[in-house]
Amino acid sequence: MWSTSLPFRTTLIAVVLTTATVVIVAIVMGNTIARDLDASRTNQALQEADHAVSSAQATFDQGLETDELAITALRKEALDAAIARAPNASGYAFYRAESSSAGSAALQDIASADVPPGLVSDAMRTALQEDPGTVVYQSVALEREDGRVEPGLVVGSTVSVPSAGTYELYLVYSMQPSQDTLDFVQRTLTISMAILVLMVGAIVGGIMRAVIRPIRVAARTSRRLASGHLEERIPERGNDDIGTLARSFNDMADNLQRQIEQLEDLSKVQQRFVSDVSHELRTPLTTIRLAAGIVYTRKDDLDPTVARSAELLQDQIARFELLLADLLEISRYDAGAVQLLRKPNDLTHLAEDVIETMTQVAAEQGEALILRATSASIEAEFDERRVNRVVRNLVANAIEHGEGKPIVVSVDANATAVAISVRDYGVGMTDEQQSQVFSRFWRADPSRKRTMGGSGLGLAISQEDAQLHNGRLELWSVPELGSNFRLTLPRHVDEQIVSSPLPLVPEDAGAHTYTADASEGLVNPFDDQGMETQPIDLPMLGDLGEGRWEYRAETDPDTGGFPIDSSGAKPAKGEEK
């Protein structure tokens, strides 16, 4: 709750700070009260003791007895007079001073029943003997008959006994009443401070709830606005800061709603325009394609310049058809009219088919297509046409930007997903380019010469196809080190992808080209001979051992290009070369 609840965090901080303040104040007040109570009780005891000693001394001064019995009776009378003047004293002790000169009579040391031997310390007696006639006192612990220990105070002074010398008179006072008063004050302070802390917490919590309630309403309204409920607004109450915030928020929401509605209307118009234009162009394009086809089939009978024009016309019509097909597909996605035809398919064979159809284009760019698969057959449930289009777009993109270096297509699977990645070692992309690569009509380098396609819709459609399968199309790329596109699909319908079986960052990240052992038959650069004059032996699956398969085009040792198969026959799919 500390990180998620502002009222809880604020209330807790207020309670902690209040508690710390209250504890400090309680300690200061407790010490002050204890010190004042102790000083007051001590002063009272000293005053009583002074009066008691004066009364005892006056009694002794009035007596003229010289024999021991008379002096003993006089001592009792003096002590009674002293106790009468010290009503708060709980006991007394009467000891002969060690420094007193011996008189004609000597009195025995006596003490009341509440004063045990040793209660008056030697240090206190020494201090009194060093300065006779003064009053000394010392705090002591008094042990009662029931075992309780109470704080106490011993006050001592000297008296002069005729014919007996100097004696020490000690009065014992209990400080328990002061301690009881202090305990009561401390309990009262503790309870009062606890109530104060609770009240502060309740008040701060209530205030914070009142303050945070409009903020929570604003947050809830913002979330509903973000989820598409553009009509949501904050109730406006009062003219204070919260009311001003509500009005400002509602004004902002009104402006956003108008702009979003305008953009939605514009988007619908654009989508309708693209859909209508795409459909309307199909009929005239079909007519043009048929007419151009007739001219193209008779180009050998035409003037060379006209024949070349017929070839260019045929190529541009093909590109126009591809662009129109992409526009129609995008319009279907926008209209939500796309349906999947999922069934069990072999992803490895699909990759073989794509490589087979793209080999000639790759050869024209001097690039080798290499298929690495962990198994000759990897099955999953997907729409074969759409996944084939995704892989073809990725391979075409790699050929376009591969800079004449090998292109590695990897296929793998785990318990929940299948994946295919297309790795090139070409120009790569910056972070800014990667953020735009799946946008419609975006091209990394518009001025770059295009080998095929180039409408800027291929990767956008591929992303839509991946998401339609509940899959992911992801990209890793570094400038001058190439790119790696990874398509991950669930193995079965409605199955969640736990992890992709292929790494997004390739194992050879940082390499400038594909490297392999000599025994693996790495593709050498293509020669300059035209592909039309060389029958192509298409690359097939080869077993590398340890459950790994590689699909590569091996080179002819004499020509340095693709091997020439004089018979034109092609090994069956999946057959090891």
pLDDT at site 565: 31
Report angle CA 175, 177, 183 to the nearest 5 degrees: 105
Q: Which run of H or of E encompasses 339? A: none
Tokens of 475: 């990209």
pLDDT at site 301: 81
pLDDT at site 576: 37
Where along the chain do the CATH 1.10.287.130 domains lie? 259-332
230: three-class secondary structure by DSSP: coil
Residue bearing tokens 């800061």: 241
pLDDT at site 538: 41
- CB of 152 within 8 A of CB of 138? no
pLDDT at site 227: 84
Where along the chain do the CATH 3.30.450.20 domains lie? 6-182
Strands 540-545 and 343-346, how do they pair? unpaired
476: three-class secondary structure by DSSP: strand
Phi-psi region of 467 (alpha: psi -120 to 50; beta: other; left: phi over 0): alpha
Mention every residue, 6+ apart, whose C-beta is less than 8 A from residue 473. 390, 438, 462, 463, 466, 467, 485, 486, 487, 488
Output the CA torsion sign for 451, 457, 461, 464.
Answer: positive
Tell me how far apart the alpha carbons of residues 344 and 358 are, in angstroms, rounded to a whole number: 24
Phi-psi region of 121 (alpha: psi -120 to 50; beta: other; left: phi over 0): beta
pLDDT at site 447: 56
Length of the chain (residues): 577
Where along the chain do the CATH 3.30.565.10 domains lie? 340-552
Q: Per residue, what are the HEC states of 382-404?
A: ECHHHHHHHHHHHHHHHHHHCCC
pLDDT at site 271: 67
Chain-centroid distance of CA 63 in Å reads 94
Looking at CATH, the fold of the domain delimited by 340-552 is given as: Heat Shock Protein 90 (3.30.565)
pLDDT at site 441: 76
pLDDT at site 503: 93
Per-residue pLDDT of the chain (577 residues; tens, 9 = 90+): 777 777 788 888 888 998 999 899 888 988 998 899 889 989 999 998 999 999 988 988 887 666 778 888 888 888 888 889 888 888 889 988 876 665 556 778 888 888 888 888 888 888 888 888 788 999 998 888 778 888 999 999 998 888 778 888 999 998 888 888 888 988 998 899 899 999 988 998 888 888 888 888 888 888 888 888 888 888 888 788 778 888 888 888 888 888 888 877 777 776 677 667 766 777 787 888 788 888 888 888 888 888 888 888 888 887 777 777 777 777 777 767 677 888 999 999 999 999 999 999 899 888 999 999 988 889 999 999 889 999 999 999 899 888 889 999 999 999 999 999 999 999 899 988 888 888 877 776 655 555 555 567 788 888 888 988 999 999 999 999 999 999 999 999 888 999 999 999 998 888 888 886 433 433 333 444 443 433 444 444 444 454 444 444 444 444 333 332 323 333 333 333 3
Tell me how far apart the alpha carbons of residues 528 and 364 are, in angstroms, rounded to a whole number: 9
Q: Which CATH architecture has domain 259-332?
A: Orthogonal Bundle (1.10)
Other CB atoms closer than 10 Å to residue 291's CB: what's the count?
A: 12
pLDDT at site 101: 61
- CB of 554 within 8 A of CB of 369? no
pLDDT at site 270: 67
Q: Which CATH architecture has domain 6-182?
A: 2-Layer Sandwich (3.30)
Tell me how far apart the alpha carbons of residues 191 and 368 are, in angstroms, rounded to a whole number: 86
- Produce one character per residue of 335-368: b if its CB has 16 or more CB atoms within 10 Å, e if not: eeeeeeeeeebbbbbbbbbbbbebbebbbeebbb
Predicted TM-score of the model (pTM): 0.48
